[in-house]
Chain A
Amino acid sequence: MIAVGLAFIYLAIRQKWEPYELLPIGMGIIVANLPLTGLLAFPSSDAGFQEAGIFGVLFHYGLSYWNILPPIIFLGIGALTDFGPVIANPKTLLLGAAAQIGIFVAFWGALASEQIGMVFTIEQAAAIGIIGGADGPTTIFLSAKLAPELLGITAVIAYSYMAAIAFIQPPLMKLFTTKSERRLEMLPVREVSRVEKLVFPNVALILIVLVVPKSAPLISMFMIGNLFRESNVVPRLTSAASNEILNIATIFLMLTVGTQLTADRVFDLQTVVILCLGLVAFSFGTIAGLLFAKLMNVFLKNKINPLIGSAGVSAVPMAARISHQIGQEANPKTFLLPHAMGPNVAGVIGSAVIAGVFISLV
């Protein structure tokens, strides 16, 4: 496991694969697998609190007991997100929804793996399925609630696949679209007024939380962060949320996630199965987004380039950049980045909503 930790550090530093996530995860793995440190201990009795290790405390309060670290990350992400592309072309929200099909493909795949002798409970299947949302904090949040024993594995797999999305998506995008579809130029996005950008997070927050109250920790922090940004009256709060707070939470969250990857949990057939299911989830999410975009074009007068459908897999902003790059390869005149940000951001909302549904009903 120490070698696995070192491998993650190598991937982060040398290959620059999601370094903000994989570097602290790699260090957490090494620390957790060194013997007799007591760093992961969290005593169940009051008498032993002074015996608790720092990572035991971080895991207990940050994740398993209060589960506050992922919502704090979402505050920072909200402060960095621009809903302009979504508001300018709202039908791209549906592409974000379509790409969440990957979650349920992996969910059913986890339940069906009973046929090969690997039995997952419905809670564990939900935690595995949410990997398909390609949203790290949402994956961690849901796993901590429903299947804490799988937290480390699902989180690392989610972030690893997010880092590898540049390898996973392009072949599927080329397979499921024709060259003429990839060459399609889209009309420039309309200008969005400040009022629209101010009203949207408020309305989205109220609507989503009323329908799915259990999504409130993630959605409310996301929209609060966004309102800070769009208000333009609290620049220090916006700056703190998108820099210091986000970075501090990232450090503690990723270190804690890494410390959950002990040898007994990782070197297991279960991990290989989850690895395969994660890949299936990402792939089906990409394909569903592409095909739904093609379906929408049957009804639309102003066609959309189907490549933006794959950006519904909410690895922000990587998936949007990949849509843009593949589009540019086919036609240098096509500029898909602003269009692809719509489904990209919608995917974040979609996966948080589905996580809320899972928490409510499982």
Chain B
Amino acid sequence: MGTNIDISIVVRAGFLTLVGMGTAILLLLSLIVFIKLSEIITKKVMIRRAGSHGGSLKGMDVKDQMVAASVAVAVLSTQQEVYKNEG
């Protein structure tokens, strides 16, 4: 047993530790960046696909709104007639 430390082994081990942990962290960080980028790209592609159907959807919404408005006017008119007759 002794306390003589082989400096060359310590230096080599230190280098291995730095390179090992550093490489693992850098690679995993790169994968994180890639995953985030692919998430953004996937979302943009999905939004574009949804947007390309948007024209016909808007048209239907306005049509539906007109139909609903017509029905509402008809119902209110009928109710007004009923109240008049009852009154």
Contact = CB atoms under 8 A, between A and B. Distances in A.
Contact of B20 (A115, A117, A208, A357): A357
Nearest to A350: B24
Interface string A109-124: 0010001110000100
A263 B50 CA distance: 69
Nearest to A110: B13
A16 interface: no
Interface string A58-96: 000000000000000000000000000011001101101
Contact of B31 (A108, A195, A207): A207
Interface residues on B, range: 20 to 34
Nearest to A111: B13
A326 interface: no
Interface residues of A, number: 41
A212 B35 contact: no
A233 interface: no
A174 B35 CA distance: 32
B1 interface: yes
A125 B13 CA distance: 9
- 6 nearest A-B pairs in the assembled complex, by CB-CB distance: A90-B35, A90-B32, A93-B28, A357-B20, A354-B20, A350-B24
Contacts of A55: none
B42 to A, nearest CB: 5
Interface in B8-63: 9-10, 12-13, 15-17, 19-21, 23-32, 34-36, 38-39, 42
Contacts of A117: 1
B13 A108 contact: yes
Nearest to B8: A122
B9 to A, nearest CB: 6
A220 to B, nearest CB: 15
Nearest to B30: A207
B42 A193 contact: yes
A153 interface: no
A125 B14 CA distance: 13
B35 to A, nearest CB: 4
Given A357-B20, A361-B19, A195 B42 contact: yes
Interface of A: 86-87, 90-91, 93-94, 96-97, 100-101, 103-104, 107-108, 111, 115-117, 122, 125-126, 193, 195-196, 199-200, 203-204, 207-208, 211-212, 346, 349-350, 353-354, 357-358, 361-362
A94 B36 CA distance: 14
A361 B16 contact: yes
Contact of B23 (A115, A204, A357): A357
29 contacts: A87-B39, A90-B36, A91-B32, A93-B31, A94-B25, A94-B29, A96-B28, A97-B21, A97-B25, A100-B24, A104-B20, A108-B13, A111-B10, A115-B1, A116-B1, A195-B38, A196-B35, A196-B38, A196-B39, A203-B31, A203-B34, A207-B27, A207-B34, A208-B27, A353-B24, A353-B27, A354-B21, A357-B20, A362-B16
Contacts of B1: 115-117
Contacts of A97: 21, 24-25, 28
A204 B28 CA distance: 9
Contacts of B85: none
B3 interface: yes
A53 B1 CA distance: 41
B31 A211 contact: no
Q: Which of B26, B27, B36 has the most CB of A within 10 A?
A: B27
A93 B15 CA distance: 23
Contacts of B35: 86-87, 90, 196, 200
Given A116-B1, A196-B38, A107 B28 contact: no
Contact of A211 (B20, B23, B34): B23
Given A100-B24, A350-B24, 12 more contacts: A90-B32, A101-B21, A104-B20, A122-B9, A125-B13, A193-B42, A212-B27, A350-B28, A353-B23, A354-B21, A357-B16, A357-B19
A333 B12 CA distance: 48
B28 A349 contact: yes
A348 to B, nearest CB: 12
